[in-house]
Structure formats: C-alpha cells, structure tokens
Amino acid sequence: MKSIVCHESYLFKMINGEKPKCHPGEALVQIKRIGICGTDLHAYRGNQPYFSYPRILGHELSGIVEKVNGDNSEIKVGDHVSVLPYLECGECPACRSGKTNCCSTLSVLGVHQDGGMREYISVPADHLIETNKLTLDDAAMIEPLSIGAHAVRRAHLRKGEKVLVIGAGPIGLAVMSFAKLEGATVIAMDVNKERLTFCKENIGIDDVIVANEESITTLRKMFNGELPETVFDATGNVHSMNSAFQYPEQGGKLVFVGLVNDQITFSDPEFHRKELTLLSSRNATKEDFYFVKQSLENGYINISKFITHRCKFENMPSTFNDWLNPDSNVIKALVEI
C-alpha cells in the first residue's frame, strides 16, 4: 500500500507498507478522493496547531468499502462512503451532550493521527456516511461543506437576516451556500477580486466587497445604513479576525469559523456597547454530514465548480507546491486514486 507522508514541513515522501488492519467495529476503505484544505496547507508549511511530524495528511475523504469487521446495518461492502474524520471518546461531557465535534480528547484524522492520503484506511464503521447516490467528488466535499453548515447552524439565522461572510476560500463558500439556503441576504468580503467574482457567479450571493479601509462604509451603503446582524469570519487570519468585531450591528453575532494559531484581541467597551454574541465553530457533527449529504442529493447545493484543480495520487508531492501559489487560483483541489 502506498502512502504520502508529510515527513516535516515542506517535505512529502511516498512510502510503501501493508494495508491497515481492520479491527472489530471498523471498516476498511479504499480511498478514491482526497480533498486538500487549509489544514493540509498549514501543516505542510509548519504552522498548523495541534500537529506533529511525520504525519499522513488528508481528512476530506471518499472511497469504497472493502471490508466491514462486525455488524453494521448502515454500511456494507461495496458502498461508496464519505469519512467522518473526527474520532470522539463518546464519554466526556461534550460527547454526552451531543457535541462530539468538541470532545475533550478529540482526534482528527490527518491532524492528531494519520489520515487518508493513502490507498487504504481503516476507521470506525459508524464514522462512515453512505454516499451511493453521490459522485466520489461530491462525497469528498461533504466534510468541508459540513464545517460551513455547522457554523450556520450555530448562528441560528433567520430568513432575510443580513449576513457578512469574510473569507472566500472553500469554508467561506460553504458558509455562504448554507446561509443562502436559510434565506439570508449574504455579502462576501475578501481581498481577492477573482474569488469574489467566483462567489457571485457560482453561489448566487447578493453582493461582494473588496476588503479595504472603506469596507464599513461600503457595507452600510449595501444595507441602507445598517450593518449585518451576523458576521462569519472564515479567514483563519489574525488581522481579519481582530478586525471582524467592527462589522456586526448592535446586538449582533460574530462567528469565528477559521482557526488561527495566535491571540485574538478586541476592545471590551466596544464589545459591551454592542452586546455582541461571540461564537466559535469547530469541525462538524454526524448530523451536519447527513444534512449536507441530503442537500447534495436534493440539488439544493451545487459544488460542480468548487473543484478547480486535481491530480493523480502519485503526482501529488510534485504538484502540491503549485497549489500554494496564489496565482494558481485554487478554490478546491482534489487528489484522485
């Protein structure tokens, strides 16, 4: 079995080894698609929190079940599946309350333990979502879409609510998509004009703003003198996240979807003056995965243009650096096996 290991920052190695053992309660999955996300980019560059080397990356995964060890009514051999990569303990207070996404000992494939950038992976069978009605591409996209869906669910948006999404990367696009599905009026903000054009043409958001010193003035003009009730920051950029407190309206909400390995600071008097609600959104739950799966099956979400770059598994180590180049205009890259 071939695996691609991030041996240290800026170094991938292709290695050969045995197929992983399929323990009781697990299923052996032949990996077919691997999505590349910000976590993988940060890990490759050496600035991903909660991370150690060497590590097999990859947590946006789809594949075909080759073996199931034990009784599982939901998954059977031959099923196409998406992998829920968040392995929870099931016993801590967060797990007992249904918040498995923030388990006190959470282990994420491709981050805390080896992920799916290999030909086969064995995972708990109850962490597989059957996706026989979807393409392998769509199934691999369920994980990043679920992060956006979870953030929107956290925010409890109302129909017609004014929303700003800062950051037009894949997670920001997912947030926009599900905010629109909830009936919100959605504005996207980014420094990248090409990505903003992509948002408007492919997601059908209401308008876009190029992030600059005039952003608040522009935003107020768009909303008839008001500011958005809910702001999502999906940048993972400390400067953007620090600045995001200025954008919500009085009594509004700010949701941090992106994660940064740094300190977030803000003016407490201003925070209290507005009586803001500050939320973090971490990963997703199985409920979010099923919701995204249903949305894709029903055609409510169309991601056909999200995937802009792809390569074969054996070419990934030599191609990865190209995807880091901003001029490549990557929205989402997929690795095919």
Please name which of 207, 209, 154, 202 lies closest in space to residue 332, comparing C-alpha atoms: 202
Q: What is the DSSP letter of 104?
A: T
What the chain holds in terms of domains, given with CATH numbers, is: 2-132+306-336 (3.90.180.10), 150-280 (3.40.50.720)
**Tokens found for residue 20:** 């992983």
Please name which of 201, 204, 197, 209 lies closest in space to residue 164, comparing C-alpha atoms: 209
Q: How many C-beta neighbours within 10 Å does residue 255 have?
A: 23
User: How would you class 2 by CB atoms within 10 Å of its CB: exposed for 0-12, middle for 13-18, buried for 19 or more?
Assistant: middle
Contact 144, 35 (CB under 8 A): yes
R_g over Cα of the chain: 20
| Predicted pLDDT at 72 | 72
Q: Cα–Cα distance between 244 and 187 in angstroms, integer?
A: 14
**Tokens found for residue 259:** 């994660």
| Predicted pLDDT at 124 | 96
Q: What is the DSSP letter of 267?
A: -
User: How would you class 67 by CB atoms within 10 Å of its CB: exposed for 0-12, middle for 13-18, buried for 19 or more?
Assistant: middle
Q: What is the pLDDT along the chain (337 residues), one digit of tens a residue?
A: 999 999 998 999 999 999 999 999 999 999 999 999 888 988 888 877 767 899 999 999 999 999 999 987 789 999 999 999 999 999 999 999 999 999 999 999 999 999 999 999 999 999 999 999 999 999 999 999 999 999 999 999 999 999 999 999 999 999 999 999 999 999 999 999 999 999 999 999 999 999 999 999 999 999 999 999 999 999 999 999 999 999 999 999 999 999 888 899 999 999 999 999 999 999 999 999 999 999 999 999 988 889 999 999 999 999 998 998 888 889 999 999 9
| Predicted pLDDT at 240 | 97
pTM for the structure as a whole = 0.94
